[in-house]
């Protein structure tokens, strides 16, 4: 990365991402906006590879919930609701 300004901005933005005051998506939008308007960045041939690595670093991990657990949660919610209805009927 040849642009000192971009290096500074990325450090600042990354700190904001870690503090949850800036989303990773918004950070990459800001990086792309800087690159569009910066002659130094546009002339840097290795920048696209470095930005791709940066995207991998800041990506929010997606951990899917196994199907069995999702179904159990849904069933627990329904059972709870039905239990309340049954209790109300018994009181009358």
| Per-residue pLDDT at 33 | 94
Long-range Cβ contact pairs of 46-50 (< 8 A, separation 24 or more): 46/1, 47/1, 47/2, 47/3, 50/1
Q: Is 38 part of a structural domain of the chain?
A: yes
Distance CA 92, CA 88 (A): 7
Element (H, E) at 63: none
Q: Is 71 part of a structural domain of the chain?
A: no
What confidence category does residue 58 fall into, taking pLDDT thresholds of 50, 70 and 90?
confident
Q: Is 83 part of a structural domain of the chain?
A: no
Distance CA 15, CA 21 (A): 9
| Per-residue pLDDT at 82 | 47
Q: Which domain does 42 fall in, by range?
A: 4-58
Q: Is 84 part of a structural domain of the chain?
A: no
Q: Is 87 part of a structural domain of the chain?
A: no
Q: Express as a percent the part of the chain with pLDDT over 70.
A: 64
Looking at the 3D structure of the chain, how many domains does it have? 1
The whole-chain average pLDDT of the chain stands at 78
Digit-coded pLDDT (tens) for 13-30: 989 988 888 888 899 999
């Amino acid at each position: 990365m040849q642009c000192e300004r971009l290096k500074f901005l990325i450090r600042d933005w990354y700190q904001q991402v870690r503090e949850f005051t800036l989303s990773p998506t918004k950070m990459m939008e800001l990086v792309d906006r800087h690159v569009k308007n910066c002659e130094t960045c546009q002339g840097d041939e290795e920048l696209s590879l470095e930005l791709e690595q940066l995207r991998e670093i800041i990506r929010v991990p997606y951990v899917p919930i196994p199907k069995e657990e999702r179904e159990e949660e849904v069933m627990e919610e329904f059972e709870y609701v039905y239990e309340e209805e049954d209790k109300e009927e018994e009181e009358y």
